[in-house]
Chains A and B, each alone.
Chain A
Amino acid sequence: MIKPGSLRFSKTGFFREIKNINRKNGVIKLDITLKRQNRVLTVYLKGELDHHAVSKVKETIDLQLVKMPVSQLILDMSAVTFMDSSGVGLIVGRFNKMKSLGGSMKIKNPGFSILKVLQMSGLSRLMEIS
């Protein structure tokens, strides 16, 4: 099991994940930054969202959801350079979780190739993508 790295505070209200360098399992080429504003949690992802990286994202987000109430989860994908169906599974899982908590989820700023995977998987019909 890959443990998410610890979170570091910054004055701007952002939390940045300290790079998870695990030579044994291989470095994860994905950075996570979180921002909380009232009950809105924004997750900024940077790098490659594949099966190797998803458990780290899943654990980081799910931990936030139990820590404090969240009514909206925003996934900012502007800096995601690669995503395959592992990312789709992660998004659907978080979408269902938010729904069961009575909240909502949306995706922001996916690049061209990411949007192609999201659309082909039918996610654009499930949630707002802008």
Chain B
Amino acid sequence: MQPINRMKIEFESKSVNESFARIVAAAFASQLDPTLEELADLKTAVSEAVTNAIIHGYEQKEGTIFMDCILYEDSITVIIEDHGVGIEDIEKARIPAFTSKPELERAGMGFSIMESFMDSLDIESQKGAGTKITMTKKFKKR
């Protein structure tokens, strides 16, 4: 399918940018006139991926997060990338309630939420190199 619009941003690994990123993604997606529920799902998934980049990828230190949003006629693909520590075992990371940082009161629900709130979730990661999350949300015909 041909993309109909695309935008890319990069921002610093700061927790204040979690809301910035999800609002930007939702504003871009609203060009497709999604429902409020679809927008809420998208915002939550983006927030999960960006929060992971900040907490796990860059371990709350400096870094740059890249967000790429591609609009199709009835869907959006969001790619969130960090050049942080990477994930050693992706299968394990995807297990509901698995977290490598229980001391920070993490629930281990981020990937499960991304998976259930979006229509597809793809995780690419290499230890020491970084992580790239690609997720797509379909919007119902209205």
Contact = CB atoms under 8 A, between A and B. Distances in A.
Interface of A: 25-27, 29, 48, 50-52, 54, 58, 82-86, 88-90, 92-93, 112-113, 116-117, 120-121
Given A50-B18, A88-B107, A120-B116, 17 more contacts: A27-B16, A50-B47, A51-B51, A51-B55, A82-B19, A82-B40, A82-B43, A84-B47, A84-B110, A85-B51, A85-B110, A86-B106, A92-B107, A112-B37, A113-B41, A117-B113, A120-B109
A51 B52 CA distance: 10
Contacts of B22: 82
B105 interface: yes
Contact of B105 (A58, A117, A121): A58
Task: Identify the interface centre among A48, A54, A83: most chain B CB within 10 Å of its CB.
Answer: A48
B106 A52 contact: no
**How many interface residues does chain B have, given as a range?**
20 to 34
B44 interface: yes
Task: Identify the interface centre among A25, A52, A83, A90: most chain B CB within 10 Å of its CB.
Answer: A52
A117 B41 CA distance: 10
17 contacts: A27-B16, A50-B15, A50-B47, A51-B15, A52-B18, A82-B47, A84-B47, A84-B113, A85-B110, A88-B107, A90-B105, A113-B37, A113-B40, A113-B44, A116-B40, A120-B113, A120-B116
Interface of B: 14-16, 18-19, 22, 37, 40-41, 43-44, 47-48, 51, 54-55, 104-110, 112-113, 116
Nearest to B43: A82
The B interface is mostly helix, strand or loop, or mixed, namely: helix
A89 B51 CA distance: 13
A129 B29 CA distance: 32
The A interface is mostly helix, strand or loop, or mixed, namely: helix
A127 to B, nearest CB: 14
Contacts of A29: 19
A82 B47 CA distance: 10
Given A26-B15, A52-B15, A92-B105, A84 B116 contact: no
B107 A89 contact: yes
B94 to A, nearest CB: 14
Given A84-B51, A86-B51, A117 B107 contact: no
Closest 5 CB pairs of A and B: A26-B16, A52-B15, A113-B40, A93-B105, A85-B109
